[in-house]
Chain A
């Protein structure tokens, strides 16, 4: 028996909106730790890892570890029917072939339940090693989204370079080139407007902008994004999910032949 009650149901809507274009089908894993997902896109270039810790739910009952195979675009369709302020409860029996999403309006005057068929998904779980990063950039998530969107009108790839000068996002295309440099800046009115660059070593990596733009669908979840870089490793683009967890997107770099 699984029963997870999330008061901030809107968070789950935002989570699904940030996943559904990247991954078609995925297993949600429920354990005492929390509600999690790990999945790659169909070309295995990007991987997403979601964790919503059990403490973040108002009620979290998970009698035994359960893996729920779901089509993410169908799940997003169902969650779209919930109000942004609704309380969302996810329910499933141990041997269930369906999952129930229950939506309650904040003043309890409207209660809806949506039942969605589950699916069997063969997914391979990858071990993500703990890495020491050469550079970690924290910046406003909207700024990062803007940069990815702007650069993708000019080129297909972005070179992200971190030096003492700051973090530089560069692209080139048929019409020309573009460079955007963001400097370390903590003298801001609000902490979420800060750009914080921690650099152990200079690092420069090339990535496909198409995937970066897909990751920025998570922008409504968090004011800040964390970009962690190391030579010859996938970049990690992380958005916090309130105080209860995170979405981490991993993107494999383009490598010189």
Chain B
């Protein structure tokens, strides 16, 4: 099955 990833996995805090 597939799992929902999150935005913070790709973009980091500035």
Contacts and interface: CB of A to CB of B under 8 A. Distances in A.
Interface of A: 40, 43-47, 124-129, 157, 206, 208, 233-234, 250, 252-257
A40 B8 CA distance: 10
Contacts, number: 57
A134 to B, nearest CB: 15
Interface residues on B, range: 10 to 19
Contacts of B5: 45, 252-255
A128 B3 CA distance: 22
A252 B2 contact: no
Contacts of B12: 126-127
Contacts of B3: 254-257
A127 B6 CA distance: 14
Contacts of B6: 43-45, 252
The B interface is mostly helix, strand or loop, or mixed, namely: mixed
Nearest to A47: B7
Nearest to B9: A252
Contacts of A208: 4
18 contacts: A40-B8, A45-B5, A46-B7, A126-B11, A126-B14, A127-B14, A129-B11, A157-B2, A233-B10, A250-B7, A250-B11, A252-B4, A252-B9, A255-B2, A255-B3, A256-B1, A256-B3, A257-B3
